[in-house]
Structure 1
Amino acid sequence: MYIFVDADACPVVDIIVDEAKKYTIQVKLVRSYSHYSHQDYPSHVSISYVDNGADAVDYHIMGQAQRNDIVVTQDYGLAALALEKGCNVLHHAGFLYTEQKIDRMLQERHVKAKARKAGFRTKGPKKLTDKQKESFRLQLRKLLSI
């Protein structure tokens, strides 16, 4: 099992790294070159940098992820692909994506994109709370202990 992280704007990378170490699980951070970092990570963490193109991180993750791996992302499109592949998909706010919910989430994303294209402003995601971070940690622990 691996943990793949859509790491360009993931606010829970430190939690993932800490929890994975307890279970001796490998973490694969995937970032675009525009999010390059000199930060050092422990040996159980590897970082891949990909082109800045749209969905390059998503394609890289989906090219490597296997059934039962964990994928951490806030991107509904990547979540849908990973679910289809049999991965466990976790949002950094602490909820698991499910087959039952993903269609509705993708529809909402589409409606908001159409509204933005028509000139309307839509709200972005709110800042992650400590409660959401703790919820994420607990969900990740559940997945790692399976």
Structure 2
Amino acid sequence: MPQIFVDADACPVKDEVVKVAARHELVVTFVSNGGLRPSRDPMIRNVVVSKGADAADDWIVANAANNDIAITADVPLAARLVPLGVHVLGPTGRPFSPESIGMAVAMRDLKQHLRETGEIRGFNPGFSARDRSAFLSALDQTVRRAMKVA
């Protein structure tokens, strides 16, 4: 059975992940540098890693396997997971796939450059109810697809 890995620092859809995982009886692992609320649910695991810059990312990459599911807004982490055969979703439901990851990395790098040169400001759009709904739908579809493969 596939597992779900969540890059949990600042993830706005933790409750939605738990809801979908419970419906499909999948294990969820929240990976964070700290501040996770413990759960009594045996299907929910919390992993606290060191405070290093990419410690959570490194842990997820080392533990996720082909056909698992990962939730992250971190494009470089997604770029590391996609070649492993992991289904990767952003918190707005945006999938990162072999076909789309190259453009996602290029756009991230371009925006970072524009922020550094002062051409644009570094504000992210707010997280909306529409984003939450799109995420729920995308996660459910991704879980069904992964379970069919398993």
Alignment of 1:1-146 (within 5 A): 1-33=2-34, 36-146=35-145
| 1:28 aligned partner, one-letter code | T
Task: Provide the rounded CA distance (Å) in 2 between the counterparts of 1:131 and 1:5.
Answer: 20
| 1:130 aligned partner, one-letter code | A
TM-score for both structures, normalised by structure 1: 0.91
> Bigger CA drift: 115-124 or 23-32?
115-124
Task: Provide the rounded CA distance (Å) in 1 between the counterparts of 2:42 and 2:70.
Answer: 19
Q: Kindly state the Cα deviation for residue 123 of structure 1 after the two structures are TM-superposed.
A: 2.8
Aligned residue pairs, count: 144
Label 1:41 to 1:97 Cα distance change in 2 as closer, same or farther (>3 A): farther
TM-score for both structures, normalised by structure 2: 0.88
> Bigger CA drift: 53-62 or 120-129?
120-129
Label 1:41 to 1:17 Cα distance change in 2 as closer, same or farther (>3 A): farther
Checking the alignment, whether the CA contact within 8 Å between 2:7 and 2:32 is kept in structure 1 is yes
Task: Provide the rounded CA distance (Å) in 1 between the counterparts of 2:3 and 2:54.
Answer: 20
Checking the alignment, whether the CA contact within 8 Å between 2:36 and 2:46 is kept in structure 1 is no
Task: Provide the rounded CA distance (Å) in 2 between the counterparts of 1:37 and 1:4.
Answer: 14
Over the aligned positions, Cα root-mean-square deviation in angstroms equals 1.5
**CA deviations over 1:116-141 (Å, ceiling 9, x no partner):** 33355523321211111111111111
Task: Provide the rounded CA distance (Å) in 2 between the counterparts of 1:106 and 1:51.
Answer: 26
Label 1:138 to 1:41 Cα distance change in 2 as closer, same or farther (>3 A): farther
Q: Which runs of 5+ in 2 are unaligned?
A: 146-150
Task: Provide the rounded CA distance (Å) in 1 between the counterparts of 2:101 and 2:121.
Answer: 20
| 2:76 aligned partner, one-letter code | G
Q: Which runs of 5+ in 1 are unaligned?
A: none
Task: Provide the rounded CA distance (Å) in 2 between the counterparts of 1:128 and 1:119.
Answer: 24
Secondary structure (helix, strand or coil) at the match of 1:71 reads strand
| 1:83 aligned partner, one-letter code | V
